[in-house]
């Protein structure tokens, strides 16, 4: 750090301890989902999305038809508006977590969705009032022979982090500071427009979107272990991944491979992976008032959203693992 004119001291590192946080646990159509609590926004935002969408019969809709894509986008916009305003390091800010994930709030957020029209993001604010304080990444999923499950996402933020290596030490420094709102109200590298709650303060942890998640069947048995990299797209990706299993009855390979959609409140547009939406559906969504864009990148890597590593536990106890073909990784058995 000193060699590179960095700010972090030996005392900062010595004073840093991993903190135990209780997971976010919520139910979705009778299934129990166990996911990552703050300082990731993943589990709470996933729960908020599920709380809105549980009121719609997703599994009866045409997969990635206009109604399905519309409802996803409308739920995501509302949930990211709340995420960006409220969520942050629980040691520093009070958050309306219980309300955000409650059935009543889900129902009230749901009631503002027009089935035929996109609500512009400019008309969607955080739904629980002003926050009290006015003033590269990898996922792995494991299930062992005893049925214990681990969903683990780890991040240095961008590819190669800050791109600074520590000579002789064998690791690169992350650029996690961009997960803070370094300038509240302005977009970070993922386009997330976040508020004062997540502003930089000494000793504070930055707000993540990591969403490592474990899903239990209504009878309490283990069904699914999942997670992904992907910055701001992780939460919507993992909602779709879980919904693909619960609502659409997909197997693990189908659930992971299915092309993905994304909306994060701002910028106000639905993005879709190449091939995810038909031209007819894009036209219909536009006529409903959505801005719809295919993800595009000259580098070919970024049109794709995330890189899910998932395991499904079959009724007979067999495990089916699948590694997303979008980036890298592998599924291995024992
Ligand atoms: O914790 C977060 O939300 C980010 N640091 C994740 C970054 C990420 O997934 C980058 N991978 N594509």
| pLDDT (tens digit per residue) in 64-112 | 999 999 999 999 999 999 999 999 999 999 999 999 999 999 999 999 9
For ligand 1, the distance from its centroid to the CA atom of residue 72, given in whole angstroms, is 21
Q: How many Å lie between the centroid of ligand 1 and the Cα of residue 40?
A: 10
Ligand 1 binding pocket includes 41 (Cβ within 6 Å): no
Using a 6 Å cutoff on CB, does residue 157 contact ligand 1? yes
User: Ligand 1 centroid to 208 CA: how many Å?
Assistant: 7
- Per the listing, tokens 């197997």 go with 251
Query: Does residue 132 have a pLDDT over 60?
Result: no
Given a cut of 80, whether residue 298 has pLDDT beyond it is no
* Residue 218 burial by Cβ neighbours in a 10 Å radius (0-12, 13-18, 19+): exposed
Distance 154 CA to ligand 1 centre (A): 8
**What is the rounded distance in angstroms from the CA atom of residue 47 to the CA atom of residue 70?**
19
CA 104 remoteness from chain centre: 22
The mean pLDDT value for 311-327 works out to: 96
CB 42 less than 6 A from any atom of ligand 1 = no
Closest CA to 113 of 99, 98, 103, 124: 124
Pocket flag, ligand 1, residue 209 (CB < 6 Å): yes
Is there an atom of ligand 1 within 6 Å of 306 CB? no
Q: Which two three-digit tokens encode residue 176? A: 């996690």
Given the DSSP bridges, would you call strands 31-35 and 213-216 parallel, antiparallel or unpaired?
Answer: antiparallel
Confidence of residue 13 (pLDDT cuts 50, 70, 90): very high
* pLDDT value of residue 224: 98
Q: Write the Ramachandran bin of 121: left for phi over 0, alpha for psi from -120 to 50, otherwise beta.
A: alpha
Active-site positions read 137
């Amino acid at each position: 750090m000193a060699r590179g004119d960095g700010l972090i001291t030996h005392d900062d590192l010595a004073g840093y301890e991993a903190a135990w946080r209780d997971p976010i646990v919520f139910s979705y159509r009778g299934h129990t989902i166990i996911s990552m609590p703050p300082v990731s926004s993943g589990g709470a935002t996933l729960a908020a999305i599920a709380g809105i969408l549980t009121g719609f019969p997703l599994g009866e809709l045409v997969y990635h038809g206009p109604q399905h894509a519309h409802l996803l986008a409308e739920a995501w916009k509302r949930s990211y508006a709340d995420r960006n305003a409220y969520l942050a390091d629980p040691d520093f800010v009070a958050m309306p977590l219980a309300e955000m994930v409650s059935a009543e709030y889900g129902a009230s957020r749901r009631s503002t969705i027009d089935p035929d029209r996109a609500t512009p993001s400019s008309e969607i604010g955080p739904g629980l009032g002003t926050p009290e304080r006015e003033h590269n990444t990898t996922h792995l999923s494991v299930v062992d022979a005893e049925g214990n499950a681990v969903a683990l996402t780890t991040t240095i933020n961008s590819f190669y982090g800050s791109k600074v290596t520590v000579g002789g030490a064998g690791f690169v420094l992350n650029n996690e500071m961009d997960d803070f709102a370094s300038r509240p109200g302005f977009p970070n590298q993922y386009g997330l427009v976040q508020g004062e709650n997540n502003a930089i303060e000494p000793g504070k942890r930055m707000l993540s979107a990591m969403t490592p998640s474990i899903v239990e069947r209504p009878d309490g048995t283990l069904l699914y272990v999942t997670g992904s990299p992907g910055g701001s797209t992780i939460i919507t990706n993992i909602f779709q991944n879980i919904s693909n299993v619960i609502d659409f009855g997909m197997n693990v390979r189908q659930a992971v491979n299915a092309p993905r959609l994304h909306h994060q409140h701002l910028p106000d547009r639905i993005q879709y992976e190449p091939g995810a939406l038909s031209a007819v559906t894009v036209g219909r969504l536009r006529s409903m008032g959505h801005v719809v864009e295919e993800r595009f990148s000259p580098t070919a890597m970024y049109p794709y959203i995330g890189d899910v590593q998932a395991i499904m536990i079959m009724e007979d106890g067999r495990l089916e693992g699948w590694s997303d073909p979008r980036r890298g990784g592998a599924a291995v058995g024992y």
